[in-house]
Structures are given as C-alpha cells and as structure tokens.
Amino acid sequence: MENTKDPAKDTGTNPAASSTAAAPSAAAPTLLPNGKTPEAYRKELELRKLEIDVEKGEFDLDNLYRRAAEASADSVFVYNFFEAVRESSVADCIDTLSKWSRLAPGANITLILNTPGGLVKEGLALYDYLTILKMAGHKLTVVALGRAASMGSILLQAGDQRLIGPNAFVLLHEVSAGTVGKVSEMQESIEFSARLQNKLIKILASKSKLTEKQIRSRWKKTDYWLDAEEAVREGFADRVLGTDPTDADYVRFSHPIKRKKSKKDKKSEGTDQPE
C-alpha cells in the first residue's frame, strides 16, 4: 500500500527548521595566511604606520637641527621690529629670538629697528634679553632704519654692532609720564619715572661719547634728533649702513611682523612711557 504521509508532519518539524538546527552555533573565525584575523592585522598595520610617522618626524627634526647647526656659523637671522615698543611687540620679539637661539646656537642675529618708541619697562625687558643672547654666544647686530626714536634709541645700543641707515634718525628725549591721585602718590610716581630715566641715561652714556650730564642737558625739555652722521659722531651708532660691502648680509633674510594695532597700541606710540 502506498505511503501517503508527509514525513515533515510525522516528525513535527519542517525541512527548513531541521536544516537550521543542524547548522553550527558560531562560524569559525577567518584567518589570514599569517595566522591573524583581518581585524587584528589591520590594527597592527595602523600601529606600524603610526610608529613610522613618529620615526620620520623625529628624523626630520634631527635633520633640521643638524642643518641649522652646520649653517649657524654663516647664517644671519633677521627680525624686523617695525612698530611701537609695547608688551605685545616685545613678547613676540623675545619669543621668536628664543626659538632661533635654540634652533641655531651661536648664530648671528640682526634686529632691524624702525620704531617710534614706546613703553620704558617693556623696552628694558627686551634690552636685557638681547644682552642675554650675546652672553649665550650670539653676535647681535642692530640696524636703525627710518627712526630709532625714544626707547628705540636704547634698543639700538644693545648691538655688538650698531648700524644706521643713511636716511635714518635717532631721537633722544626725557621719559614721558602722567600721574593722577593724591600729591604724595603723584610724587612717588614722579620719583619712579626719574629712576627709570636714570637707567636710560646710564645706558646711553656707557655706549656713546657723551657723559650723563651732557645727555641730560641736550634732551631737557626738548627732542634731541640726530641724523645718521651725527649719531655716529656722538657714538650712538658705529657706522652708516652701506659703507661696507658686507652690509647686505645683515638684511638678507627678514622675518616680517604684521599685526593689527589696537587703540591702546596706537595711543602708546611715539612716547617713552613708564607704564
């Protein structure tokens, strides 16, 4: 007799269910020929690439320092200080010169000045830093172009060599200051301004052919302007720029600084102010 029963009904299951039940619970991981999973191998490659990038960066940095050290004897780093002497301009200048000093120890540095002057204490901070650079083995040349006015005349004196453009001027004058408050407070402010002025006079007298008494006499209640020849004659500069064939080396490479001036910056320009 022919069997008309459906096998699926006899077992209480369907073929699809049986097939699913017979499948393994989890597929075995796929391994690459090196015995690693694709995910593990990908992570290994990413790590190796990162190590290579780090090694390349270290090599490039070492190579940069090596080339800078080899060239430092003949290199001239030039910084253009074409603005007023104030906190921001002095901070930027010191920051850049500090990087150059670390990059090329002992390299020649040129500071080109074209400044109306500015704040006394900030200017003295830069003057002292330039002195430190010279103590560290750098030869410092300061070049006055246009004008080295007020505090700029002090910064000019920081150079091992002081050059002045044939059409440039140096301005010397007394410290400008303003004070408000009680009489005793104003007197204290005036005394402090006088102390700052004494420091400036000592710097100028030590670098020039004039005595402190002569400087006080010449700039009292007036602006004492000197052209290039006068500045050299009085000892505020060593020589006029362009009188030696090697002068081009001092201005060959420049580091221009472009900065938008604030209202406070514009207000401070042109005066030697204690604050």
Catalytically annotated residues = 150, 173
Taken in order 225, 228, 229, 232, the sign of the CA dihedral is positive
- Reduced to 3 states (helix: H, G, I; strand: E, B; else coil), residue 100 is helix
CA count, 13 A, side-chain hemisphere, 113: 36
Cα–Cα distance, 273 to 177 (Å, whole number):
5
Residue 83 tokens read as 């603005």
Pairing of strands 224-227, 76-81: unpaired
Maximum distance among all alpha carbons in the chain?
Answer: 142
Cα–Cα distance, 213 to 78 (Å, whole number):
35
- Reduced to 3 states (helix: H, G, I; strand: E, B; else coil), residue 273 is strand
